[in-house]
Amino acid sequence: SYNFSAGPAKLPADVLKQVQAELLNWQNTGASVMELSHRGKEFDACAIEATNDLRDLLNVPENYKILFCQGGARAQFAAVPLNILANNTHADYINSGYWSQCAAKEAAKYCNVIEQNVVIKNAGITSIKPMSEWQLSDNSAYVHYCPNETIDGVEIFEQPDFADKIVVADLSSCILSQPIDVKRYGIIYAGAQKNIGPSGITIVIVREDLIGYAQKVLPSVLDYKILLDHDSMFNTPPTFAWYMSGLVFKWIKSLGGLSAMQQRNQAKAQLLYQFIDQSDFYRNTVAVNNRSIMNVTFLSPNEELDKKFVSEATQANIIGIKGHRIAGGMRASIYNAMEIEGVKYLIEFMQQFEKQNG
């Protein structure tokens, strides 16, 4: 089967095979990795190695700390303002779609959110205002945005450059899909369940000078300072997810790192968008410059046919192709682990479906 699920999502087959081989007896410990103490020397080494591999892959500068958290990206929607807003009350939130709007809504419980909609809809086509036109407030502590809107299939490829404004980014659905310049960000966070590993673990990369300004009400389990002081093991971490994330980091390295990932991902996305564009049956409603290379959304001529497409695709072993309920239509999530063969298979199915229903 070919799994286009938006998340939890397909993982590399090689990684799953390794997990299977190691499941009952990990590193000759006589136990499964998920049965061992997070304080033992074996898991400790595994956790450190994963952290170092992630640092290598993203080229994370020394003055940034990598934390492995829990609660998903949504916990970070609250953790961000609570961690860094002790000395200020205002934050800019860029609204580019569903998830960035959710982040703003959650943050508004803890600070004064200055929200700005950057979505442009023109003749049914969605695009995002260029960053040079985003208006940031002088008195805000940071600006938050989401480079890849998973539901809408909208991606912002520009790298942020806002003088000395702290940039916070939700990279849940695009982390490790392409190289980024970590120095441009104050905080990066991402749930693991799309491009990294199983759900239950969340990556936070934070510039060290931002740590230590938490509001008093911040729960300890979300406090970056406390997490840092305990090597992300203040409470029991999701050890199995951490271990698997480490295997995925190694897998990405073995394929050549993030530049190689970017090439792979661009090739897959291009193939699919090219097919959609030449078709009179399918359409994508995102401006070319903002088309996500991770989540490709498309529509058939009407909702009835969308339903039929999803149902017949499922029978043809295409998993998770239904669009999000608020967007409708279809969505092919083609994260790092999706091979180009999967995209080719999907296109063949789309061609057939078009022939029979066009």
- The DSSP output letter for 300 is -
CB of residue 222 to ligand PLP, shortest distance in Å: 13
The mark string for 1-30 relative to ligand PLP (x by CB under 6 A, - otherwise) is: ------x-----------------------
Q: Which stretch binds ligand PLP (CB under 6 A): 9-17, 157-165, 166-174, 312-320?
A: 166-174
CB of residue 23 to ligand PLP, shortest distance in Å: 25
- Interface positions, 181-210, toward ligand PLP (CB under 6 A): 191
Rg (CA), the chain: 21
> Which residues are catalytic, by number?
99, 170, 194
- Angle, helices 13-22/239-254, rounded to nearest 10 degrees: 130
Residue 150 binding ligand PLP, by CB under 6 A: yes
And the tokens for 316?
Answer: 């043809």
d(CA 205, CA 203): 7
Q: Select from 252, 275, 274, 271 the least CA-distant residue to 341.
A: 271
CB nearer ligand PLP, residue 152 or residue 306: 152
Which residue number has the CB closest to ligand PLP?
72
Beta bridge partners of 340: none
Q: Which helix (H) or strand (E) holds 83?
A: helix 72-84
Question: From the list 53, 106, 152, 170, which residue makes contact with ligand PLP (rule: CB under 6 A)?
Answer: 170
Residue 90 binding ligand PLP, by CB under 6 A: no
Q: What are phi and psi of 49, to 5 degrees?
A: -65, -40
Beta bridge partners of 283: 299
Residue 93 binding ligand PLP, by CB under 6 A: no
CB of residue 297 to ligand PLP, shortest distance in Å: 13
Residue 342 binding ligand PLP, by CB under 6 A: no
- Interface positions, 57-76, toward ligand PLP (CB under 6 A): 72-74
Residue 38 binding ligand PLP, by CB under 6 A: no
CA of residue 127 relative to chain centroid, distance:
20
Question: From the list 146, 211, 337, 350, which residue makes contact with ligand PLP (rule: CB under 6 A)?
Answer: 146
CB of residue 147 to ligand PLP, shortest distance in Å: 9
Residue 173 binding ligand PLP, by CB under 6 A: yes
Between the alpha carbon of residue 186 and those of residues 101, 169, 172, the distances in Å are: 20, 8, 16
CB of residue 315 to ligand PLP, shortest distance in Å: 26
Cis bond before residue 8 (omega within 30° of 0):
yes
d(CA 303, CA 296): 18
* Three-class SS state of 355: helix
Contact residues for ligand PLP (CB under 6 A)? 7, 72-74, 99, 146, 150, 170, 172-173, 191
